[in-house]
């Protein structure tokens, strides 16, 4: 029987620390093209069962892309999972080498599911979405400063606001051009925006930041966005169901789309009203509406069906891929 090898990679700006399990071996390579070339040579020699890296805000992108090009089994995980695993095993010390070995042990014990990673086109769209969020954050901050800024600063702030608004318009144009270049994205965007309440911003975010939409069942897609109620029970105690985790960038835009849908979409409007009349708090009703919307959009993409009207809505929203 072939021996299973698990590799953990701790990523920093300058280095890649490699841990291999079973064993206590660690290696270090530079986080650049030359270092990653050496990493690929090492991986070809050990033939790993699973390679796990932490998400580090983009520092892992080059390594992950290179490993994927060689068809190696790569998974990118949330750093919190590894930190909690380290505490559970009694490993309180923290260095890059220790982290690499802990990630390798995590890979062996937990064996996170391998999911398709974003290709270059999806990465480009996701990057444009991220830049749009950054510009929006700066724009809101500058507009808030303008309200209470002393007179000598107002001219400079207004000029910066004008520049940010022009930049935002250019990014929006780039996003739409990127989507239109792909026949699949263009078709998916048209399907998503046929639902009243979904506009071009949310549609682009779903395409770039939630590529799993249309390929998971309703429970998994809701959990991925972070709007699935999670149990909090122990013994006879039955706690309140709460939502947390997930992809916050998608969730924020989905919240705004839900506010719009509550006014323009009769299905969501009546659903929200029924929940409020049943005594549900506003936040609970809003979260339920968000979950209903993402479930409907998931089914629409899977079945390649446009939203026409409530009377024609016959999608099986419980169906999974």
What is the span of the domain harbouring residue 129? 120-181
Please give the structure tokens belonging to residue 34: 């030359």
- CA pair distance 218, 291, nearest whole angstrom: 9
- CB-CB contact of 118 with 127 (8 Å): no
Helix axes 200-209, 120-148, angle to 10 degrees: 130
In a domain, 1, yes or no: no
Q: What's residue 313's pLDDT?
A: 46
Q: What's residue 234's pLDDT?
A: 82
Residue 201 has pLDDT above 80, yes or no: yes
- CB-CB contact of 248 with 233 (8 Å): no
Task: Report pLDDT digits (tens) over 22-48.
Answer: 888 889 999 999 999 999 999 999 999
pLDDT-wise least confident of 108-122, 162-176, 195-209, 282-296: 108-122
Q: What's residue 117's pLDDT?
A: 73
- CB-CB contact of 222 with 174 (8 Å): no
In a domain, 214, yes or no: yes
Burial class (CB in 10 A: 0-12, 13-18, 19+), 206: buried
Domain boundary among 152, 181, 210: 181
In a domain, 319, yes or no: yes
- CA pair distance 51, 39, nearest whole angstrom: 12
Q: What's residue 145's pLDDT?
A: 95
Checking phi first, is residue 238 left (phi over 0); if not, alpha (psi -120 to 50) or beta? beta
Tell me the CB-side half-sphere exposure of residue 215, using CA atoms within 13 A.
8
CATH of residue 26: 3.30.420.40
Q: What's residue 123's pLDDT?
A: 85
DSSP letter assigned to residue 233: E
Q: How many domains does the chain have?
A: 3
- CA pair distance 229, 235, nearest whole angstrom: 19
215 lies in the same domain as 176 = no
90 lies in the same domain as 17 = yes
20 lies in the same domain as 48 = yes
- CA pair distance 43, 50, nearest whole angstrom: 10
Domain boundary among 181, 211, 234: 181
Angle at 300 between CA 296 and CA 301, to 5 degrees: 120
In a domain, 56, yes or no: yes
Task: Report pLDDT digits (tens) over 223-280.
Answer: 999 998 888 888 888 888 888 788 899 999 999 999 999 999 999 999 999 999 999 9
For the chain, how far is it from start to end, CA to CA, in angstroms? Answer: 33
Looking up tokens 């770039």 gives 208
160 lies in the same domain as 47 = no
Between the CA atoms of 264, 267, 268 and 269, what dihedral angle is there, to the nearest 10 degrees?
Answer: 60
The reply to whether omega before 45 is within 30° of 0 (cis) is no
In a domain, 201, yes or no: yes
138 lies in the same domain as 220 = no
Backbone angles phi, psi at 75, to 5 degrees: -135, 135
- CA pair distance 173, 242, nearest whole angstrom: 38
Residue 160 has pLDDT above 70, yes or no: yes
Q: What's residue 315's pLDDT?
A: 43
Mean pLDDT of the chain: 90
41 lies in the same domain as 92 = yes
- CA pair distance 134, 128, nearest whole angstrom: 10
**Closest to 265 measured CA to CA, from 186, 207, 204, 199:** 199
DSSP string, 70-127: TT--EEEE-HHHHHHHHHHTT-----HHHHHHHHHHHHHHH-PPP-PPP-HHHHHHHH
In a domain, 187, yes or no: no
Q: What's residue 260's pLDDT?
A: 94
In a domain, 175, yes or no: yes
174 lies in the same domain as 244 = no
Residue 214 has pLDDT above 80, yes or no: yes
């Amino acid at each position: 029987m072939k021996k299973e090898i698990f590799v953990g990679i701790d990523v920093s700006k300058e280095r890649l620390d490699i841990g291999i399990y079973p064993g206590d071996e660690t290696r270090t390579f530079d986080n650049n093209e030359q270092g990653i070339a050496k990493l690929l040579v090492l991986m070809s020699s050990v033939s790993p069962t699973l390679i796990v890296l932490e998400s580090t805000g983009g520092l892992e992108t080059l390594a992950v892309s290179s490993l994927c090009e060689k068809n190696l089994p790569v998974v990118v995980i949330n750093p919190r999972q590894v930190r909690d695993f380290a505490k559970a095993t009694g490993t309180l010390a923290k260095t890059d080498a220790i982290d690499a070995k802990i990630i390798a042990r995590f890979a062996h014990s937990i064996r996170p599911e391998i999911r398709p990673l974003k290709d270059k086109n999806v990465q480009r769209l996701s990057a444009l979405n991220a830049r749009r969020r950054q510009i929006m954050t700066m724009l809101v901050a500058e507009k808030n400063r303008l309200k209470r800024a002393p007179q000598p600063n107002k001219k400079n702030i207004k000029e910066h606001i004008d520049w940010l608004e022009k930049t935002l318009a250019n990014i929006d144009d780039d996003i739409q051009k990127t989507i239109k270049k792909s026949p699949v994205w263009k078709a998916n965007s048209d399907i998503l925006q046929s639902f009243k309440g979904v506009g071009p911003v949310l549609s682009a975010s779903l395409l770039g930041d939630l590529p799993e939409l249309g390929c998971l069942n309703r429970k998994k897609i809701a959990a991925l966005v972070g709007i699935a109620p999670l149990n909090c029970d122990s013994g006879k105690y039955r706690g309140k169901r709460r939502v947390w985790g997930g992809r916050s960038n998608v969730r924020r835009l989905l919240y705004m789309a839900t506010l719009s849908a509550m006014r323009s979409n009769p299905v969501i409007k009546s659903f929200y009203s029924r929940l409020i009349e049943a005594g549900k708090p506003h936040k609970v009703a809003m979260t339920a509406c968000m979950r209903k919307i993402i479930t409907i959009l998931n089914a629409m993409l899977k079945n390649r069906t446009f939203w026409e009207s409530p009377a024609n809505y016959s999608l099986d929203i419980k169906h999974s891929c």
